[in-house]
A and B are shown apart, each in its own frame.
Chain A
């Protein structure tokens, strides 16, 4: 299935945006303002839906006229494009969105035609599927690891690089002892936060992106 590469699912959604000429600020503009205010780091709503590798939301105003002799044409609606790459299956992911970030889903999709709300997650899933466009070709460079596995590997890589640098030239017995401490520290280290963590409370060695 083209929507899937390995264990990663590539979802493409086109939701028509409500047009209402009688309101002062159009829905597309309000939606853009809201999207601009959303955090993009570990406090992002998509960090809460933790199976998300990468996601984007885009207001598409129109199709593009590439110049004569091509025919010029225009869309009658604007569309919200939601493109996301996540682990697992579609129903689980959309249900997680409805349950874990309902306020964000509501604030985004309330501007879209036919949005049923999130009170009934099954209704939201059905709505999103109506807006889904099948991916024709999907490329995922790493498609056999979850977000958490990638983050954990980055954390180990960072901690190990610090360890090797710090212990360069030390006697073997010392390195062996310190390596045991490193293992304990890694075992106790909190799971890395998706979305990036620059807070001072996290030591540089534990940051998966440092």
Chain B
């Protein structure tokens, strides 16, 4: 997902301060982390003078607004994503986009969705190194890998009966993380 919103330049430093605090105070990221369906997301402030001009023949941009760009790599459908954002992160979203022109607030969700629809633009090419794995799948697989490495290290020389006991303990440890990955079901 790609989105861009205009901001009055005097508001830009205020948003920068908010992002600085968000980056420095990790507990403020807890809800975003717990949602656990975003691989990577970023906000990029581009000021009105910052659009690259790489040749004298390229006209310099003459803009009144600074812009906030947002790029997100998430699992599931657009509706699921915006609904979850609105339901769980409304205060955080409001703190980020309240500086953008005509932001209606993230609750209620209908005008919020209308706003996002208006300012997002489509991706022309998208690559994912693990396209069938949601971020929860990746985290589960990493937990399985850790448990597996540990089990391999300690179980190699066990007698069959001790192996059975250790194997059962290992299964209990990993059983919640063995769900199969694949293409996401389509839903709205």
Contact = CB atoms under 8 A, between A and B. Distances in A.
Contacts of B42: 10, 12, 83, 135-139
A156 B44 contact: no
A175 B58 CA distance: 69
B173 to A, nearest CB: 12
A171 B15 CA distance: 62
Taking chain A's interface residues, is the majority helix, strand, or loop, or is none over half, making it mixed? Answer: mixed
A142 B138 contact: yes
Contacts of A14: 46, 51-52
Nearest to B68: A136
Interface in A48-86: 50, 52-61, 63-64, 66-67, 70-71, 73, 75-77, 79, 81, 83, 85
Interface string B6-47: 100000000110010011000001001100101111111110
A113 B55 contact: yes
Given A139-B32, A196-B130, A209-B132, A73 B63 contact: yes
Nearest to A75: B61
A161 B178 contact: yes
Contact of A153 (B121, B125, B144): B144
Contacts of A15: 52, 54
A61 B121 contact: yes
A134 interface: yes
* Most chain B C-beta atoms within 10 Å of own C-beta, residue among A40, A59, A153, A179: A153
Interface in B126-165: 126-133, 135, 137-142, 144-145, 148, 152, 155, 158, 160-161, 163-164
B53 interface: yes
Interface residues on A, range: 35 or more
A172 B160 contact: yes
A194 B2 CA distance: 24
Contacts of A24: none
Interface in A169-184: 171-173, 175-176, 179, 183
B129 A52 contact: yes
Interface residues on B, range: 35 or more
A153 B139 CA distance: 9
Nearest to B53: A16
B122 A158 contact: no
25 contacts: A16-B58, A52-B127, A55-B125, A56-B127, A58-B122, A63-B63, A66-B5, A66-B101, A77-B51, A77-B61, A85-B40, A114-B55, A127-B54, A133-B44, A134-B44, A137-B19, A150-B130, A154-B130, A156-B141, A157-B145, A158-B180, A158-B181, A161-B178, A161-B180, A195-B131
Interface of B: 2, 4-6, 15-16, 19, 22-23, 29, 32-33, 36, 38-46, 50-55, 57-65, 67, 69, 71, 73, 100-102, 115, 118-119, 121-133, 135, 137-142, 144-145, 148, 152, 155, 158, 160-161, 163-164, 167, 171, 174, 177-178, 180-182
Interface of A: 2, 8, 10, 12, 14-16, 31-32, 35-36, 38, 40-41, 44, 46-47, 50, 52-61, 63-64, 66-67, 70-71, 73, 75-77, 79, 81, 83, 85, 112-114, 127, 130-131, 133-142, 145, 147, 149-154, 156-158, 160-161, 164, 171-173, 175-176, 179, 183, 194-196, 208-210
Q: What 9 A-B pairs are tightest by C-beta distance, nearest first?
A: A114-B54, A209-B132, A172-B164, A153-B141, A194-B129, A153-B145, A157-B141, A35-B125, A76-B59
